[in-house]
Amino acid sequence: MSLNMDKKLVVAGISQGDINGIGYEVIIKALMDPGMADICTPVVYGSPKVAAYHRKALNINNFSFNNVRSAEEANPRKANLINCLDDNIRVELGKSSPQGGEAALASLERAVSDIKNGRVDVLVTAPIDKKNIQSDKFRFNGHTEYLMSKAGVEDVLMFMVSESMKIGVATGHVPLSAVPGMLNTELILRKLRLMNRSLQYDFAVRKPRIAVLGLNPHAGDNSLLGTEEEEIIAPALLQAQKESMLVFGPFPADGFFGAGLFVKYDAILAMYHDQGLAPFKAISFDTGVNFTAGLPFVRTSPAHGTAFQIAGKGEASESSFRHALYLACDIFRNREMYNEISRNPLRHQEIEIHTDRVDELPPEILNSENQL
């Protein structure tokens, strides 16, 4: 079977994030990589004025954007930029401001509109300030919840990805005090289904092995330190196994990472945000990527925030953002391949062997017949 996939470059839509943070720095540094032109056609949703301000602050003189009016006009050999902002926008490096939030939302809205309408293939989001972006148009705890709403899906999975590990969280951007009340067997089962599906569809893992962490210290220690493992998590694992998923646990989180058990599994499901992201960022901070599994389109982001404290100083590493671009393109290609294979599966053929026609049998079968 031949895979007749279009080999054109992936068109990557990039939202600028907060204009006072390190978003433009990591975007520009990543797009300065000469090899990026062979990976994707980048389209940044932002402002030529803001981009020029950041280039001057960072003393970057060997890079410029190709200004276009729409994604359809993007030059595949250049870093393209669509203006989404008013020229009166003011940059205040290192400060969280209402204008910074408004600018981040304007960029995000245009980028999401374009990916929903097929004008770009993937979406990579630079960091926002979750507080200053709040408005009548944005009442969400972060990108993940906003994109879930815009895509019209019932659930998604925050999936942290690096070469070392893949880890998702059952509960996302919520206070720790709210986690026990949110956890239930159906929630965990939904997240396991999303994770299992994503590993197959997005990462080409045919039969994923998934580890599940407990909620309490020592995974409850036989219900001595909590009963959620026995009453909520274990029943979810049992049902997942009945659905032919290879799931294991619940494991005590400290020992699981301390003993390096994470290398034995394709992915891990943590019960809450910091249980998953603390070890992930300790191991993969520079190369880790946040991927939103369960959306009808591909969305990734770097595994760091706005970093206002170093904005404009040239100290930000673009590594995580570069990996976010790479991963988005890889997932897009994996989905193309999965869909192509699904449309054109290998036909099952019955092979008949007629032992009375020995002259037609291949030598290896003849030899085995003679040895019986």
* Domains annotated on the chain, with CATH: 8-153+295-343 (3.40.718.10), 155-291 (3.40.718.10)
- How confident is the model at residue 346, as a pLDDT? 60
Chain CA centroid to CA 318, Å: 17
- 80: β partners: 43, 66
Judge contact between 195 and 267, C-beta under 8 A.
yes
The H or E element containing residue 40 is strand 40-46
**Residue numbers in the chain where pLDDT is lower than 70:** 1-7, 345-372
- How confident is the model at residue 340, as a pLDDT? 87
Predicted confidence (pLDDT) per residue in 298-344, tens digit: 999 999 999 999 999 999 999 999 999 999 999 999 999 998 888 87
Predicted confidence (pLDDT) per residue in 164-209, tens digit: 999 999 998 889 999 999 999 999 999 999 999 999 999 999 999 9
Half-sphere exposure of 37 (CA within 13 A, CB side): 10
When computed from its CA atoms, the radius of gyration of the chain, rounded to whole angstroms, is 24
